[in-house]
Amino acid sequence: NKGWFIEPTVFADVTDDMTIAREEIFGPVMSILKFKTIDEVIARANDSEYGLGGGVVTSNIDNAIKISNGIRTGTVYVNCYDVFDSNTPFGGFKDSGIGRENGELGLRNYLEHKTVIIKRPEDSMP
């Protein structure tokens, strides 16, 4: 009676001009878009203001590498999804976030670097 609940949903026959294909979707939903070439997939994925994460499902490791190297997204899952490790940086590209969370890169946001150089008076200058 309260809030929103969305059952797992698959949207078929999605086209590039649809909002569901252009904007980030959060929830148990999947959009299916047809394609002919891997280069088309990469171009389509990069033609977006967003780049938080993406997933590739394939039995061809060469395609997985080509796609994951080609798309501008912070995380690419291959044959899995939502696998996290607190030591692995997480964050998006483009309008999907600034900086990283988790891991060493995530800690850097909380650090300030300072350089101090001291010459003791008893040391002679060269």
**What's the pLDDT tens digit per position in 50-98?**
888 888 999 999 999 999 999 999 899 999 988 888 888 888 888 887 7
Q: Where are the domains of the chain?
A: 35-110
Considering the entire predicted model, what is its pTM?
Answer: 0.69
Q: Quick check: 96 and 24 in contact, CB under 8 A?
A: yes
> For the domain 35-110, what is the CATH superfamily, name and number?
Aldehyde Dehydrogenase; Chain A, domain 2 (3.40.309.10)
Is the pLDDT score of 43 beyond 70?
A: yes
Which residues on adjacent β-strands are paired with residue 76?
A: 54
Helix H or strand E encompassing 76: strand 75-78
